[in-house]
Structure 1
Amino acid sequence: MNEELLSLLDSLKGFDEKAVLKQRVQNTVVKVVESKVATVQNLDDEVYYVLVKKGRKYLVATLRGRGEEVDYSRLVDALEEPKISPKLTDNAKEYKFEKVDHAMEKVKEDPQKVIDSIDSKYPVYGIVNLIKREVSLVTSKGFNGTDVRSTVDGYFRAFNGEFSGQWSFASTTYSDKLVREAVETASDFASITNKVSVDDGRYDVVLSPMVMGNLFGYLADMASGLSIVMGESIFYDVKPGTKVASEKLTLLDTPKQDRPTSVGFDWEGTFTRDKAIIEGGVFKTPLLNNEVAELLGMESTGNAGWVYPRAWNLEVKEGKVEMEDLLAGNAILFNNNWYTRFQNYVEGQFSTVGRDAVVVYREGKPVGVSPRLRIADSLKNLLRNLEELSRERYLVKWWDAPTPTLTPYALFKGVKLTRA
């Protein structure tokens, strides 16, 4: 298994540790314009990553194809010794996993089938990605692994004149229902047309799964051990076991579940496992690779990244009420958001602009949409002021929420809003 990678690994002479990782992504991109398939792109991207170490000095190289040999030893010798250096896991086991969705492969052969699922009274625009991803890793510690999976993700925007709605989706299996429900939800939001003015102030705000996916993706980045060590995180001075959020919040990293971008091993050769980042409002663990874990006096959580640990998939545990119950009083629903920017990573101060659509509810009924409304608050406040979560959960992924996230709708109290 992985004979090509083993040959490349063997050719790297004179190093204390070395590893070769290959990622191949075969992606059929279906672009939809005005409810019709406009273009289909068949992309096949194969990338090699090489890690070599002498003492604490190391080099990571990215290769596309097998070109001329590079004298990595000379390059490593010329480097200064870093404060943090990748550390491969003592794992000499083999690992092989493959799960390919054959229904998705058939849609790749005839992408026009995507359109058969689109039935909207408004023009619909969007993208569907039909992906087969292969990750292979060999290390000088003896690890040899391959992980092959299918994933599908996408989003649709529906336009009703100057009003719009959006929805996204993700899965490891393709179904017409995924596409149909995304189009229906986007169209439902686009159908709300009355404009309502909202003044600057603090409001009860409901965030949709798309907004949760965006903001909690940033939260997971801050849970990376390297972000904490570098002081670019709301967790920089937080010890595991500290209460950081409402007791209703449980946030998990779930690489062992059947979800997009799940994988059985990390880049250092550690087997992955599911884990709580926050459980019942309590910070449980940062996301760690070997070297950052060593700095913090902990063990790897199976989230390497050479140098930067990261989440694989995210899950927010469900609540006990229906989504409609979150909107029973006076609230503002942010269905989508763009332009998330952080002003202070330690405090988690950020702003993000609502899109597609921001719906104003009064006495539990939608009275219209408020254009150009911005959340200007902090992640710390959001975590503390989480009031309730819906039973319904949705798995979302798109370009502004790149980490697949299974999450409910969430009601937050006293969120600061300003005009954009």
Structure 2
Amino acid sequence: MPQYDSQSYEFFGNLIDDEGNVNSIAMMSQGNKKEWPHSNTVYTFEEAGLIFNRLDQHEGPVVGGIGGIADVTTPVSIDYQPWKIAVADTPLGQPEQTMEMRVVSGTVGAVGAVYDITAVVPTGTSIGVDTEPTTLHVRAKDTTGIIQWGYGPNGFFPLWMFDGDSIDPTDLDIATRDQRGPIMDTYGGDIGAYLKATGDPMTGQGSHYYSMPLVEVEEWSVQRGSSYIASGTGGELFFDNLTETYNDSAAYIVQNGYHWTEFSVQLPDSKQGMLIAVTGQEDVGDLYYAMLGGAGSTQSKNGTLAPTSNWPQGAIHITPDPSSAWTSPNTCYVYELSYNVKLDASSTRPAADLVFTAVEKEQEIDAGDRPVYEGLFAYSGKLDGKSVNGYAWGEIQGTKPAAGHDTPPSC
């Protein structure tokens, strides 16, 4: 959409084949608004990507994708009645490549809607490396409806708080408003209460964030070259839609050491989902969020579901297990692969004590010179006093290797 600087759609989760093997998958389409250097011409750069990981093989994911200037070099279509996103490319002398997400039954965001996800692209160990033609098809049904995460009357989802100090004083000297002080001292860490009381627009500090946390797979199939063919009728996907608008302060923060650890949690027994994360950057410090929604949620005027529980700052504790540290043999980045999450209870929200552990070590993605650990985690523990377990999608920014230890195999 032209009013946003970035908009993305993504399905991710697990696919279980007929032999019982668990695979991880992510497929996304993201448009980023950019400006030609030394001109006022604005265009949208489209990035569509596929990640597929045969976790039982311990070889890491294969990736593929399509990228280019939307509707100039790369045809892109977004339809809403019925909902469909399609991206295509025809490289010189090669077959057409396509990636598509669409509703085939029901209405987007409604319980019971059925989605088709298809991709016909080359995949390799990294973009353009050891590629083989790959065809993927997934059909899945939403069981929860779409949740609008966030706070306040507009469901805004901030990703950092300012403390009133100017950021990047050497070059930009961007003034900020003190938000952290009032949020922590006056409103007990409750960002929603702060937004409701102050009307602070938090311009450029986050997104509008929508999810369908439990999209149950009905059937799927994949073929990669002539060496791998698989299919199945099991698995669960999580769907995200994010829209964001940037300003100078946001551009500076996301380009200067911004990092996050996030778990998108599926709770199939209760038909719910959770988001649990910590984000951070040197100039703005850390921000935590933890939210629960799905069954039991109230419906907002726009048809989306509101979270049933929203934990404040200070009630969210995310602790990596140092003994789980893993050094990537491909990039030398270091990632912790096990985390303990504790969420404090109150009269309006339950307690949680969960442990998240990567299903397989080899889940790092190094696309576009931005290493990130992105893949399937298993979790277990207690939520509201009840035992829970299942899968979550984890996304982790690792620790950059020290100089002299940043070139494999000399990590």
TM range (shorter): under 0.3
State the TM-score, normalized to the length of structure 2.
0.27
Q: Which has the larger radius of gyration?
A: 1
Bigger relative contact order (CA 8 A; separation at least 6): 1
